[in-house]
């Protein structure tokens, strides 16, 4: 595959991010771009890296492990897909930030594993704001408060914010409602539990400008940078 288009795509995405930030009266440097390289080979990561991108995200731990092993070591890797507890150790050994923690038992496990290596794992809690049954994530405000309260006792994890995914087919007003709900929930949970929830991970290729207007601090963008993904995940070369 040819990834010569990646540099121009990245420039375009960064331009659109700064426009959206300006429109919302926000500081551009408060918004980070996570380049979602899932299903694309290490050459795609290299092309984006050569164009200056340093933050990459994957949704599967195995693919993350394989790709990070052959990529430049100044890359910051994030996990954005569902984390099974038996993959937690591998994820902890690689990830700067896990966006997709969604239960107290998973947090406890991450904390135990991280503590063993002297690490404090930064995590976000994934919220299912839209109520779609097919989605992972914490489904209720009370559930979130409970998990945040429990996390305070866990020395090996630091919860730093919330993450959500909007439905693909949602219209603009629905997207706005979902993203603003996550921001309002974050404000409320921060105030109630004292956990400093600075990060809001929301917005993908189709909806990141709306997410930025509604307060996103990390946008996760794949196809606008790397191109259309194959319908089925490709195996690693």
> With binding defined as CB under 6 A, does residue 103 bind ligand PLP?
no
> How many residues contact ligand PLP, by CB under 6 A?
14
Contact pattern for ligand PLP over residues 25 through 44, marking x by CB under 6 A: -----------x-x------
> With binding defined as CB under 6 A, does residue 205 bind ligand PLP?
yes
Minimal CB distance to ligand PLP: which residue?
A: 222
* Cα dihedral 106→125→64→11 (10° resolution): 180
Stretch that binds ligand PLP, among 40-48, 105-113, 145-153, 220-228 (CB under 6 A): 220-228
> With binding defined as CB under 6 A, does residue 81 bind ligand PLP?
yes
Of 113, 148, 200, 204, the one binding ligand PLP (CB under 6 A) is 204
Burial class of 201 by CB neighbour count within 10 A (0 to 12, 13 to 18, 19+): buried
Stretch that binds ligand PLP, among 24-32, 46-54, 143-151, 198-206 (CB under 6 A): 198-206
> With binding defined as CB under 6 A, does residue 223 bind ligand PLP?
yes
Q: How far apart are CA 83 and CA 183, in angstroms?
A: 23
What sections of the chain are H helices per DSSP?
A: 6-23, 42-50, 61-69, 88-94, 104-116, 141-151, 172-193, 208-213, 223-226
Token pair 């038996």 is found at 86
Q: How far apart are CA 81 and CA 58, in angstroms?
A: 7
> With binding defined as CB under 6 A, does residue 60 bind ligand PLP?
no
Which lies closer to ligand PLP via its Cβ, residue 194 or residue 233?
233
Q: How far apart are CA 5 and CA 9, in angstroms?
A: 6
Tokens (6 digits) for 148: 């945040």
Which lies closer to ligand PLP via its Cβ, residue 9 or residue 193?
9
Of 165, 195, 202, 212, the one binding ligand PLP (CB under 6 A) is 165
Q: What 3-state DSSP class applies to 23?
A: helix
> With binding defined as CB under 6 A, does residue 220 bind ligand PLP?
yes
Which lies closer to ligand PLP via its Cβ, residue 38 or residue 67?
38
Q: Is 161 left (phi over 0), alpha (psi -120 to 50) or beta?
A: left
- Least distance between ligand PLP and beta carbon 81 (Å): 6
Q: What is the binding site for ligand PLP (CB under 6 A)?
A: 36, 38, 59, 80-81, 165, 204-206, 220-224
């Amino acid at each position: 595959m040819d990834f010569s288009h990646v540099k121009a795509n990245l420039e375009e995405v960064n331009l659109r991010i700064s426009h959206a930030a300006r429109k919302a009266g926000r500081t551009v440097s408060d918004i980070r771009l996570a380049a979602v390289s899932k299903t694309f080979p290490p050459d795609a990561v290299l092309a984006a890296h050569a164009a200056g991108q340093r933050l990459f995200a994957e949704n599967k731990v195995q693919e993350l492990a394989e790709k990070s092993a052959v990529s430049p070591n100044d890359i910051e890797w994030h996990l954005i897909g569902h984390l099974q507890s038996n993959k937690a150790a591998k994820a902890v050994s690689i990830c700067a930030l896990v966006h997709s923690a969604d239960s107290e038992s998973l947090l406890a496990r991450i904390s135990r594993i991280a503590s063993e290596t002297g690490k404090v794992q930064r995590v976000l809690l994934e919220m299912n704001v839209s109520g779609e049954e097919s989605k992972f994530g914490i489904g209720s405000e009370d559930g979130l408060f409970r998990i945040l309260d429990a996390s305070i006792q866990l020395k090996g994890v630091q919860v730093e914010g919330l993450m959500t995914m909007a439905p693909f087919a949602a219209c603009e007003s629905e997207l706005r409602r979902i993203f603003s709900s996550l921001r309002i929930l974050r404000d409320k949970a921060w105030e109630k539990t004292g956990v400093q929830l600075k990060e809001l991970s929301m917005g993908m290729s189709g909806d990141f400008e709306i997410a930025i207007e509604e307060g996103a601090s990390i946008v996760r963008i794949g196809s606008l940078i790397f191109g259309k993904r194959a319908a089925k995940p490709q195996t690693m070369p």
